[in-house]
Structure 1
Amino acid sequence: MRHACARGPMEIAKKSDVLIGYAAAVGCPAESCEAGKAGVCQGCPGRELCLQQQGGVDEDQKYINVRMKAIKKKILVLSGKGGVGKSTVAACLGMALAKLNTKVGILDLDICGPSIPKLLAVEGQAVVNSQYGWTPLRSPHSEVKVMSVGCLLGESDSPVVWRGPRKSSLIKQFLKDTFWGRLDYLIFDTPPGTSDEHLTVVKMLLNVKPEGAILVTTPQDVALATIRKEISFCRKMSLNIIGIVGNMASYVCPCCKEESPIFTDDGGVQSLCNEYSIPFLGTVPLDPVLVMCCETGTNVYEQNSIAADTLLDIARTLL
């Protein structure tokens, strides 16, 4: 049987970027990838992974540590499932912290479904690779620094069809090569669930002690069931849980601003926090003004929005 690297992963990669993570996904035999054994493993996307599995040192980690130590607080925004408004909360918290006179950056780790560029109105802007690294984009209405794979794609409709090792490699490059400078807060908008992206970023931040994670969920049982898994993930990874944000529990009338509950039991999030002894940060209503701002990439804090007031209170709690 031929060695996994000898099956031509680089030749496959030339035909299609989709399969560039093939060798790492099937797993190269570790004994063939030892340093000093030539030829066959050179250029294989799984070579670095093989070396680390043998106890090797990740040379990129020291550069990541230098970048991240210039940032005071690193906060991950997590959700158990998609569609609960995690990216909206991450973007709005970033804008709220900036409004409170702090220097803020947002790193979009949702490789396959980046939405931060639209929410912060940086779509169409090009990332510049300077002598100090990738220069993050700046949101035009909040001065929040932004980095996302959505800013690296030639077309916004282009899909990112990558296997796990390729996504992990890009996340490491974001951490190592992005020139954030000195920030008070760096918010990581992660994809739903507990997968490659989460494991990679938690491991890469281990040496610089992130502040913790904010969990976002809606009050229905199907969402609360997945957020329990997220809580277990954080505790297994020794990642502090800053608190839980309940989202879209009520609807704000655009005319009279009265709130109407959407779910029968809108206290489910609060009960979950009590059960696990986790701080409850607040409930963000479903506000048409916030929805409009997200769709157009405008600053919700310049509008008359009840949801914005709640998010601003959460940001003050973080401060």
Structure 2
Amino acid sequence: MTALFPPGISWEPAAPLSSYCPEPGNLAGVRHIILVLSGKGGVGKSTISTELALALRHAGKKVGILDVDLCGPSIPRMLRAQGRAVHQCDSGWVPVFVDQEQSISLMSVGFLLESPDEAVVWRGPKKNALIKQFVSDVAWGQLDYLVVDTPPGTSDEHMAAVEALRPYSPLGALVVTTPQAVSVGDVRRELTFCRKTGLQVVGVVENMSGFVCPHCAECTNVFSRGGGEALARLAGVPFLGSVPLDPELTRSLEEGRDFIRDFPKSPAFPALSSIAQKVLSGAPARLS
């Protein structure tokens, strides 16, 4: 494999890990690929990607996360996997396994940075080349779901990801918005992107949908409410649910904890569990 990394990103292949290498074929063993998209930043794509992966894992599925948000790789921290090494085997790069059971695997440019403060200062072609290399050279083995966390927007990196993943159908998009009209307007353009690129929309998630007071359980609609559901209805795509602002969810992400396991009484827990169940029950039929 050809290294693509400029100064500031280091990758030294380790000795072949034959006993740990997944079966050959890279994405050939992945049943369902879901891209987590939004037309804007700050709506919580990485949060939804992480919690969806954890919920699917607790449902007994084997899950991979491909973090192609090259300039903001936050998922390694959210899963307490910072500083882990990426190794090489005969089939390519071995993703980082988050748990001892190896039920969640993760690949991110965050593992290739010399320090957490390094910035990825690349032009589009270099970013696109790394995304394509992540798709072709990471040996995922057998997975039920591969969740792809994408950067904001609808431009080069998204096209590179869609085109690189297109041969490995089934393929679909989960679109994340916040409730307010400014966010919904940007996310509407993301739905247009999905339509133009032939991506089937698994559904829309409305994140940061109200704040539930941890003391009195009253819900305050900080960013309005219902914009995501209205958008899904107008676009004719499924609405998967609303996730409230939740201090316990924030805490779990900051500490790299398993929110689905550790905070079952949190206000966000039923919403995230319901979204995962809808993906499990509906996505296989739509994406098969």
TM-score bucket (shorter structure): 0.7 to 0.9
Q: Are the aligned partners of 1:252 and 1:288 in contact in 2 as well (CA < 8 Å)?
A: no
2:74 pairs, out of 115, 124, 131, with 115
Give the 3-state SS of the residue equivalent to 1:241 in structure 2: strand
2:268 equivalent to 1:313: no
* Partner residue in 1 for 2:163: 203
Distance across 1 between alignment mates of 2:7 and 2:86: 21
Question: Counterpart in 2 of 1:295?
Answer: 254
Structure 2 length-normalised TM: 0.86
Tell me by how many angstroms 1:170 deviates: 0.6
**After the TM superposition, which of the residue ranges 208-217 and 101-110 deviates more from structure 2?**
208-217
- Which aligned segments of 4 or more residues in structure 1 are displaced greater than 6 angstroms? none
> Counterparts of 2:77 and 2:246 in 1: how far apart (Å)?
18
Identity of aligned residues (%): 47
Aligned to 2:58: 99
- Correspondence list, 1:73-152, <5 A: 73-140=32-99, 143-152=103-112
SS in 1 for 2:223: coil
Establish whether residue 180 from structure 1 lines up as the match of residue 140 from structure 2: yes
SS of match in other structure, 1:154: coil
Comparing 232-241 with 301-310, greater Cα deviation is found at 301-310
Q: Which residue of 1 aligns with 2:12?
A: none
- Confirm or deny: 8 A CA contact 1:141 1:299 kept in the other structure: no
1:210 CA displacement: 3.4
Cα distance change on mapping 1:141 and 1:288 into 2, 3 Å: farther
Taking structure 1 as the reference length, the TM-score comes to 0.77
Aligned partner of 1:228 in structure 2 is: 188
Contact 2:252/2:259 (8 A) holds in 1: yes
Do structure 1's residue 154 and structure 2's residue 94 form an aligned pair?
A: no
CA distance, structure 2, for counterparts of residue 84 and residue 141 of structure 1: 31
Deviations along 1:99-151, one digit per CA (max 9) or x if unpaired, are 00000000000011111101111101111112232111122388410000001
Match of 1:281, as an amino acid? L
Structure 2 gap segments, 5+ residues each: 9-23, 281-288
Asked if the contact 2:208/2:223 (under 8 Å) is kept, the reply is no
How many angstroms apart in 2 are the aligned matches of 1:250 and 1:149? 33
Match for residue 35 of structure 1? Answer: none
Task: Map 1:214-253 to 2 at 5 A.
Answer: 214-253=174-213
CA distance in 2, matches of 1:116, 1:294: 9
- SS of 1:283's equivalent in the other structure is strand
SS in 1 for 2:161: helix
Name the CA distance, whole Å, in 1 between partners of 2:194 and 2:279: 19
Letter in 1 for 2:257: T
Hey, what's the Cα distance between the residues in 2 that align with 1:190 and 1:159? Answer: 17
Inter-partner Cα distance in structure 2 for 1:195 and 1:296:
32
More displaced 10-residue stretch of structure 1: 203-212 or 114-123: 203-212
Determine if contact 1:67/1:176 at 8 Å carries over to the other structure: yes
TM superposition shift of 1:94: 0.3
Shift in Å at residue 259 of structure 1? 2.2
Distance verdict in 2 for CA 1:141–1:218, change over 3 Å: farther
- Distance across 1 between alignment mates of 2:238 and 2:45: 17
SS of the equivalent of 1:147 reads: strand
Asked if the contact 1:250–1:259 (Cα under 8 Å) also holds between the matched residues in 2, the reply is: yes
Out of 84-93 and 134-143, give the one that drifted further. 134-143
> Greater relative contact order (Cα 8 A, min sep 6): structure 1 or 2?
2
CA separation in 1, counterparts of 2:25 and 2:138?
Answer: 11
Could you tell me how far 1:263 is from its partner in structure 2? 3.1
Greater C-alpha radius of gyration: 1
Give the match for residue 285 of structure 2.
Answer: none
Q: Deviation per CA, 1:137-193: give whole Å up to 9, x if none.
A: 122388410000001111111110001110111111111111110000000000011
